[in-house]
Structure 1
Amino acid sequence: MDKHYADTVRLLLNIAPDVFDNDIFAMKGGTAINLFLRDMPRLSVDIDVVYRPWQTPRGQALQAINQELAAIAQRVERLGVQTRLIRSKDLGDTKLIAENEASQVKVEVNVVFRGTVLPIERRPLSAGTGDLFGVEFAVPVLAPDELYAGKLVAALDRQHPRDLFDV
């Protein structure tokens, strides 16, 4: 395995418990598939999250997202990881960059699609990922059907090969 990729996965695995130390975010996207459902079939090292409460008015949801990203930054910095919050025009902070001397991981909240269709599942790392990196923990993840549906939407929207590969 490429050293840079392994270092980036280590950073992601180091910060993930702090990213999901709340009741409002769940993991979605390729990294959820590649580290929690499957045994790392492709390189995917960002953390895509969905804001779980679907009935919250947009303004309140954006405020809650901004506040939680700031709280995540504080928790992650205690690990010796540097963080930067990234503002989106008129939306506040919707991304967090976490980095150490070797790697960088992006935490990105989807502010357009909020809530979930299916119940959230608390999932442990895939066996292969846990064994390879010597860690065990679980995070809230979208249900597999919803994860793959999201990848199909992304494949049709972006038309990027990685989305088709994930499906």
Structure 2
Amino acid sequence: MFDTSGFNPRLIEKIYRISDILQKIYTTTYTKKRLSLYGGTALNFLHFKDIPRLSIDIDFNYRDQQQNDWAQERNEIDTIIKKILHDLHYNNDDIAIQPSYPLTRFDIGYKTADGEKDSLKIEIGYLRRIPVLSKHILLPFTHLKTGDEFSVQTPQREELFGNKFCTVLYRYGEENIASSRDLFDLYTISKIKLNTTLFDVAMVIDSLMRKEPRLYDRNPDTIIKNVMIDDQLKNLIRNGHVPADIKEKTQVFITQHLNNSKDKYKTLIDTFFDDHRFEPTLLKHHDLLNHHITKHPSILWNLKQLEEKKKR
């Protein structure tokens, strides 16, 4: 059972609800094969030890089954999730669905145990339909209230770590509004003994799904300096305790791996942005990548944007 001491009871209720939803999704044959748990919930509830912070949203990436029209499968997934929410006693009026090309977002309202209004969010991304690394994995998830255990599909941890690294550097475009939660997650990653090769490969490939500046040209000093350590983060950490060295240690970690990206992967990155070609064989360890990586929708989308920019 999860030790809830030091946390806001309303947040505990929310993560119990998240556990309920995840259990339903991953005990349903159709969705458990097609949805890979991503983001802060995957990191903190699966890949990090002892849940260093709470995560109050659910992020999935759709996994293409290479069999059917993924748009049709998307409709089926939406139908199943609505049924799951109904089974968990959420009404139609509680559920708002916001579809767009890259993702589907469910905003789910509810009344807390003390009668107040609250909500949680589910997002399903459809541009990262292919894992970056060779394959996804299954990990045990323990329901945070009941203790029930079930298997959850998720990327290899270094893929998630590489994504979080790039999220800190790129997420909001502007260097002065990086998320304190993302900073905390990257700080946690910096303390873990990594497979450095896997991490760097995943980090570099993830950076090719984003606009310039190129990975090795990012300025971590400014980005980290301007992160606000706010209540959004403090409320998610037990007793609100934020480590004193969070910025210093994270900045050292970022700088180290940015230097690696320039030393080892500059040719791959420059070929992508200058020549508009994705050549994974330029990676010494390209065998670590998913064998469909050249068809990755986010990479192809970014290449298309580069080509269109060149024509203007």
Same fold (TM over 0.5): yes
Which of structures 1 and 2 has the bigger CA Rg? 2
Tell me how large the CA RMSD over aligned residues is.
2.4
1:100 is matched by which residue type in structure 2?
Y
Confirm whether residue 64 of structure 1 aligns to residue 73 of structure 2: yes
Q: Does structure 2 conserve the Cα–Cα contact (< 8 Å) formed by 1:70 and 1:85?
A: no
| Aligned counterpart in structure 2 of residue 111 of structure 1, from 115, 119, 126 | 126
Q: Is the 8 A contact 2:95 2:107 kept in 1?
A: yes
Mark the CA change 1:148 to 1:87 in structure 2 (over 3 Å): closer, same or farther: same
CA contact (8 A) 2:168 2:179 kept: yes
Give 1:42's aligned amino acid. R
Higher relative contact order (CA 8 A, sep 6+): 1
Q: Does structure 1 residue 17 correspond to structure 2 residue 23?
A: yes
Q: CA deviation at 1:73?
A: 1.1
The answer as to 2:138 corresponding to 1:122 is: yes
- The corresponding residue for 1:152 is 165
Local SS of the residue matching 1:115: coil
Match of 1:86 in 2: 97
1:69–1:85 CA contact under 8 A, matched in 2: no
2:106 maps to what in 1? 96
- Taking the aligned partners of 1:72 and 1:33, their CA distance within structure 2 comes to 22
TM-score (norm 2): 0.46
Counterpart Cα distance in 2 of 1:121 and 1:94? 23
* Structure 2 residue 154 is matched with structure 1 residue 141: yes
- 2:228 matched residue in structure 1: none
The reply on whether 1:3 has 2:31 as its aligned counterpart is no
SS in 2 for 1:74: helix
Q: CA deviation at 1:125?
A: 2.6
Take 2:78 and 2:35, find their aligned partners in 1: how far apart are those partners? 10
Secondary structure of the corresponding residue to residue 81 of structure 1 = coil
Instruction: Please say which of residues 92-101 and 29-38 is displaced more in the overlay.
Output: 92-101
Give identity over the alignment, percent.
Answer: 27
Identify which range, 93-102 or 106-115, moves more after superposition.
93-102
Q: Partners in 1 of 2:77 and 2:126 — Cα distance?
A: 13
How far 1:85 moved relative to its partner? 4.3
Residue 80 and residue 33 in structure 1: after superposition, are their counterparts in 2 closer, same or farther (change >3 A)?
same
Counting matched residue pairs gives 160
- Please give the secondary structure, in 1, of the residue aligned with 2:128: coil
Higher strand share: 1
TM-score by length of 1: 0.82
Structure 2 stretches lacking a partner, 5+ long: 1-6, 113-117, 172-177, 187-312
Equivalent of 2:62, from 51, 66, 75? 51
CA-to-aligned-CA distance 1:129-155 (integer Å, 9 cap, x gap): x5x633222211111011111111211
For residues 93 and 117 of structure 1, do their structure 2 counterparts lie closer, same or farther at Cα, with a shift above 3 Å needed?
Answer: closer
Q: Distance in 1 between matches of 2:160 and 2:124?
A: 15
